[in-house]
């Protein structure tokens, strides 16, 4: 049996002589502390216990006295095996701190000296309970402090332990399947603070949208080089290579060595070849046995900024944990003309105006909480993308912008040249938002300062209400958020690959881009009277293939690029109205609103463009001014109560023509 207390005393005295508080500052341990274990059985085995021993002790009441390996003799005396089992389970294991499959149990050994007590002429050192850090071996007294200490290591990117740890047993891996792709993950795969190979099942919709965008680009030119800059488990890059095959050359990158190992194992699981490329070495490794796909996935271990500076790609996807602004300059540095950059931002606390100071720090944007906060978040991200592209003399065309509960996804096409860069930069403008009635309008272009910017707002709140009623938000993207033709081709790819979960969202996005209702939705839009010709004959004709461009030289290549640019320009229909109104935010007290679909028909009959929006299930995107929006809402609302209480609302329903300022008290 390991005599832990005596061993700990031997290493405390040299540290006291050196005047160093923590042992790890003086020594580099080669083995983990005994309080760090994977399973409770390992801790019991360390105490010399086995299931048969303490079961026998309970039945026969034999005198099997065992000491606790994590407590000194004066703290916990040797006792029966079943009592020691309860002690280890209820004290040490129950309040442990978990990290990457390990448990840091509380330790009562004399590893950490606390404040000495002076009694008479003698000094006594009090021993305190503490935890041993799995990463730096520091000793922390409280459990909450230990959790914060581990989180600080993770935020700094320090996830590798300084001691030698045995690899996790294969039995601890879980194999998950998504879109016919298998990935093995660690037990804590859904918690980024506890694992290097983070996998979030809730982001399946996000991954399918990105796959559809890549599939559309793969039909335009073949083969294309695509990069998943933050691979984690490699699920996204594996789906690209498995379904698109020879149309794409996939590169999966991650800066963490454990994640790179996990990506290689997942490639082996899906029977794919791996080309390993790191900073230190460049070699090819063929992983997998039996029948293998001819596709090869390149796995790199670099910082995302480094690989995007070094190489050119046609398709780049950025999905860091948090904001993507630190990687935008590198992404636009070498991306090819008419290529696509997609990014997923999960820092929704700042984008949704819950942490406004963080939004100002990361995006340089001043925002407040509004009814259209999700679309505001998408426009914040696009504005940051447009500025980063303009710094590289590139413009952008927004193909897709989605903001859901836990992420914001933006997909843009890159247009090289100073002229597209100037056009994109001009669309980054400030927004004037009325805090009283929620009316909003983008500031007019020009360098002249207006005496009264409130005059730009359609409402008269500033004249009827004292004080400041509006705020200036931004800078924001003021252009379109969707490309109708690209969304229709994405819907076609989603149907072709059987992505059933993505199709309803894409239909909603197409209707939102065209500003029409789902009732008027048709699979054949103005851009493609013949979808088979669009998605088959035109794209796959030999004259526009990658091989034909090489054979016929640069002139043919320029023609293909020019024709593609013209086709994408024709895909853009009239821009949809900016922002939307939530029907509940503008409802009247004491009145029953009409059903949302009926209200959309009423607005359409009044001559306005109208559609629903994916940003808000009760949102209405329309070009109607807010005053007309409220007037029509009042006209078709019915009173909730009968009798004398309904006299006021009935009067409003019969005469919907009052000045909007006089109705403000109803909202």
Query: pLDDT tens digit string along 574-596?
Result: 578 889 999 988 888 888 889 99
Two tokens at 312?
A: 């050119």
For residue 308, give the nearest of 284, 322, 326, 329 by alpha carbon: 329
Could you tell me if 440 and 434 are in contact, meaning their C-beta atoms sit under 8 angstroms apart?
yes
The contacts of residue 585 (CB under 8 Å, 6+ apart) are 371, 438, 667
In this predicted structure, what is the pLDDT of residue 536? Answer: 33
Two tokens at 620?
A: 């209405």
Give mean pLDDT, residues 166-187. Answer: 73
CA angle in degrees (0–180, nearest 5) for 30-36-42: 110
With a cut of 60, say whether residue 376 has pLDDT above it.
Answer: yes
Return the minimum-mean-pLDDT range out of 278-292, 304-318, 454-468. 278-292
Residue 433, preceding bond cis, omega within 30 degrees? no
Compute the distance between CA of residue 477 and CA of residue 387 in angstroms, rounded to an integer: 10
With a cut of 60, say whether residue 550 has pLDDT above it.
Answer: no
Of the two residues 108 and 614, the one the predictor is more confident about is: 614
CA 596 to chain centre: 31
> C-alpha dihedral over 69, 73, 79, 85, to 10 degrees?
-30
Compute the distance between CA of residue 247 and CA of residue 88 in angstroms, rounded to an integer: 57
With a cut of 70, say whether residue 541 has pLDDT above it.
Answer: no
Could you tell me if 538 and 560 are in contact, meaning their C-beta atoms sit under 8 angstroms apart?
no
Give mean pLDDT, residues 507-524. Answer: 82
For residue 516, give the nearest of 507, 505, 524 by alpha carbon: 507
> Which band of pLDDT confidence, cut at 50, 70 and 90, is reported for residue 37?
confident
Whole-angstrom Cα Rg for the chain? 32
In this predicted structure, what is the pLDDT of residue 533? Answer: 36
The contacts of residue 112 (CB under 8 Å, 6+ apart) are 127, 128, 130, 139, 141
Give the Cβ contact number of residue 417 at 10 Å. Answer: 12
Write out pLDDT tens, residues 261-281. 999 999 999 999 898 875 544
Compute the distance between CA of residue 376 and CA of residue 381 in angstroms, rounded to an integer: 9
Give mean pLDDT, residues 466-479. Answer: 90
In this predicted structure, what is the pLDDT of residue 83? Answer: 82
Compute the distance between CA of residue 141 and CA of residue 106 in angstroms, rounded to an integer: 9
Of the two residues 11 and 604, the one the predictor is more confident about is: 604
- Name the burial class of residue 610, with classes exposed (0-12), middle (13-18) and buried (19+) by CB atoms within 10 angstroms of its CB: buried
Give mean pLDDT, residues 460-464. Answer: 82
Write out pLDDT tens, residues 177-228. 898 899 888 766 766 665 667 888 889 999 999 999 999 999 998 889 999 9
For residue 401, give the nearest of 463, 468, 344, 473 by alpha carbon: 344
Compute the distance between CA of residue 133 and CA of residue 166 in angstroms, rounded to an integer: 17
| Type and span of the H or E element at 552 | helix 546-571
Could you tell me if 234 and 181 are in contact, meaning their C-beta atoms sit under 8 angstroms apart?
no
Compute the distance between CA of residue 319 and CA of residue 407 in angstroms, rounded to an integer: 10
Question: Across-strand partners of 429?
Answer: 476
Alpha-helical runs (H) found in 459-545: 461-464, 484-496, 503-514, 531-532, 538-540
DSSP string for residues in 157-168: T--S-SS--PPP
With a cut of 90, say whether residue 167 has pLDDT above it.
Answer: no
Compute the distance between CA of residue 596 and CA of residue 576 in angstroms, rounded to an integer: 19
With a cut of 70, say whether residue 511 has pLDDT above it.
Answer: yes
Could you tell me if 480 and 574 are in contact, meaning their C-beta atoms sit under 8 angstroms apart?
no
Q: How far is CA 280 from CA 16, 251, 283, 606, in A?
A: 41, 17, 10, 67
Q: What is the mean pLDDT of the chain?
A: 77
Q: What is the DSSP letter of 169?
A: P
Two tokens at 328?
A: 């935008």
Strands 36-37 and 102-104: antiparallel
CA 467 to chain centre: 40
> Which band of pLDDT confidence, cut at 50, 70 and 90, is reported for residue 616?
very high
Two tokens at 114?
A: 């606390």
Of the two residues 475 and 85, the one the predictor is more confident about is: 475
Write out pLDDT tens, residues 42-82. 888 877 766 545 444 444 444 456 788 888 877 777 777 77
- Burial of 252-261, coded b for 16+ CB within 10 Å and e otherwise, reads bbbbbebbbb
In this predicted structure, what is the pLDDT of residue 586? Answer: 87
In this predicted structure, what is the pLDDT of residue 375? Answer: 96
Give mean pLDDT, residues 553-558. Answer: 44
Could you tell me if 138 and 150 are in contact, meaning their C-beta atoms sit under 8 angstroms apart?
no
Residue 657, preceding bond cis, omega within 30 degrees? no
- Kindly state the greatest CA–CA separation across the chain: 98
Could you tell me if 321 and 343 are in contact, meaning their C-beta atoms sit under 8 angstroms apart?
no
Q: What is the DSSP letter of 270?
A: T
Within 13 Å, how many C-alpha atoms sit on residue 410's CB side?
Answer: 30
Alpha-helical runs (H) found in 221-352: 235-244, 257-269, 304-310, 328-333, 348-351
Give mean pLDDT, residues 282-290. Answer: 43
Sign of CA dihedral 13, 33, 256, 280: positive
With a cut of 90, say whether residue 243 has pLDDT above it.
Answer: yes
> Which band of pLDDT confidence, cut at 50, 70 and 90, is reported for residue 150?
confident
Q: Which residue's entry shows tokens 């597209």?
A: 420
Could you tell me if 279 and 307 are in contact, meaning their C-beta atoms sit under 8 angstroms apart?
no
With a cut of 70, say whether residue 330 has pLDDT above it.
Answer: yes
N- to C-terminal Cα separation, the chain:
75
Write out pLDDT tens, residues 394-418. 999 999 999 998 899 999 999 999 9
In this predicted structure, what is the pLDDT of residue 64? Answer: 54
Compute the distance between CA of residue 218 and CA of residue 546 in angstroms, rounded to an integer: 11
With a cut of 50, say whether residue 540 has pLDDT above it.
Answer: no
For residue 541, give the nearest of 560, 554, 555, 561 by alpha carbon: 560
With a cut of 50, say whether residue 282 has pLDDT above it.
Answer: no
In this predicted structure, what is the pLDDT of residue 448? Answer: 66
Percent over 90 (pLDDT), the chain: 41
- Name the burial class of residue 574, with classes exposed (0-12), middle (13-18) and buried (19+) by CB atoms within 10 angstroms of its CB: exposed
Could you tell me if 29 and 137 are in contact, meaning their C-beta atoms sit under 8 angstroms apart?
yes
């Amino acid at each position: 049996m390991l005599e832990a207390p005596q061993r700990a005393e031997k290493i405390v005295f040299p540290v006291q002589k050196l005047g160093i508080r923590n042992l790890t500052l003086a020594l580099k341990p080669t083995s983990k502390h005994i309080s760090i274990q994977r399973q409770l059985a390992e801790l019991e085995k360390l105490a010399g216990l086995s299931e048969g021993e303490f079961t026998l002790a309970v039945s026969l009441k034999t005198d099997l006295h065992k000491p606790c390996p994590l407590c000194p003799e004066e703290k916990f005396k040797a006792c029966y095996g079943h009592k020691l089992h309860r002690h280890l389970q209820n004290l040490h294991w129950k309040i442990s701190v978990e990290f990457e499959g390990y448990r840091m149990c509380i330790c009562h050994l004399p590893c950490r000296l606390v404040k000495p007590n002076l009694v008479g002429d003698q000094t006594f050192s009090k021993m305190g309970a503490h935890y041993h850090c799995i990463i730096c071996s520091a000793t922390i007294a409280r459990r909450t402090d230990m959790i914060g200490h581990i989180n600080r290591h993770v935020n700094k990117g320090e996830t590798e332990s300084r001691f030698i740890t045995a690899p996790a047993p294969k039995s601890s891996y879980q194999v998950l399947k998504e879109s016919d792709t298998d990935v093995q993950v660690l037990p804590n795969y859904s918690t980024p603070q506890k694992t290097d190979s983070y996998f979030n099942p809730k982001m399946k919709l996000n991954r399918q949208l990105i796959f559809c965008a890549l599939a559309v680009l793969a039909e335009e030119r073949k083969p294309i080089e695509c990069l998943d800059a933050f691979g984690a488990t490699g699920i996204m890059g594996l789906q690209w290579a498995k379904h698109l095959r020879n149309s794409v050359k996939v590169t999966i990158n991650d800066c963490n060595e454990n994640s790179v190992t996990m990506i290689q194992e997942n490639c082996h699981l899906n029977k794919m070849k791996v080309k390993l490329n790191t900073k230190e070495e460049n070699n090819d490794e063929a992983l997998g046995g039996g029948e293998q796909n001819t596709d090869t996935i390149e796995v790199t271990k670099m910082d995302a900024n480094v690989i995007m500076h070094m190489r050119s790609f046609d398709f780049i996807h950025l999905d860091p944990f948090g904001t993507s602004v630190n990687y935008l300059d590198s992404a636009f540095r070498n991306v090819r003309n008419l290529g696509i950059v997609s990014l997923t931002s999960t820092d929704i606390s700042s984008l949704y105006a819950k942490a406004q100071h963080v939004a100002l720090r990361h995006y340089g944007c001043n925002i407040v909480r509004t009814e259209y906060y999700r679309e505001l978040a998408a426009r914040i991200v696009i504005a940051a993308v447009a500025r980063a592209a303009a710094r590289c003399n590139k413009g952008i065309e927004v193909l897709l912008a989605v903001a859901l509960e836990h992420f914001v996804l933006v997909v843009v096409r890159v247009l090289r040249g100073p002229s597209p860069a100037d056009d994109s930069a001009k669309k980054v403008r400030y927004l004037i938002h009325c805090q009283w009635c929620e009316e909003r309008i983008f500031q007019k272009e020009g360098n002249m300062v207006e005496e009264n910017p409130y005059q730009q707002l359609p409402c008269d709140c500033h004249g009827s209400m004292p004080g400041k009623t509006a705020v200036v938000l931004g800078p924001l993207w003021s252009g379109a958020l969707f490309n109708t033709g690209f969304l229709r081709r994405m819907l076609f790819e989603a149907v072709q690959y059987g992505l059933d979960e993505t199709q309803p969202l894409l239909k909603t996005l197409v209707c939102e881009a065209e500003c029409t209702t789902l009732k008027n939705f048709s699979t054949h839009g103005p851009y493609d009277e013949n979808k088979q010709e669009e998605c088959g004959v035109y794209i796959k004709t030999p004259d526009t293939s990658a091989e034909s461009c090489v054979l016929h030289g640069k002139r043919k290549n320029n023609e293909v690029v020019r024709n593609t640019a013209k086709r994408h320009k024709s895909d853009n229909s009239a821009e949809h109205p900016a922002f939307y109104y939530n029907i509940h935010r503008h409802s009247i007290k004491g009145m029953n609103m009409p059903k949302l679909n009926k209200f959309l028909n009423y607005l359409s009959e009044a001559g306005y463009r109208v559609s629903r929006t994916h940003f808000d299930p009760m949102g209405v995107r329309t070009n109607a001014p807010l005053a007309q929006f409220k007037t029509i809402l009042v006209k078709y609302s019915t009173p909730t109560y009968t009798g004398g209480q309904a006299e006021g609302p009935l009067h409003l329903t019969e005469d919907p023509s009052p000045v909007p300022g006089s109705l403000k008290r109803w909202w």
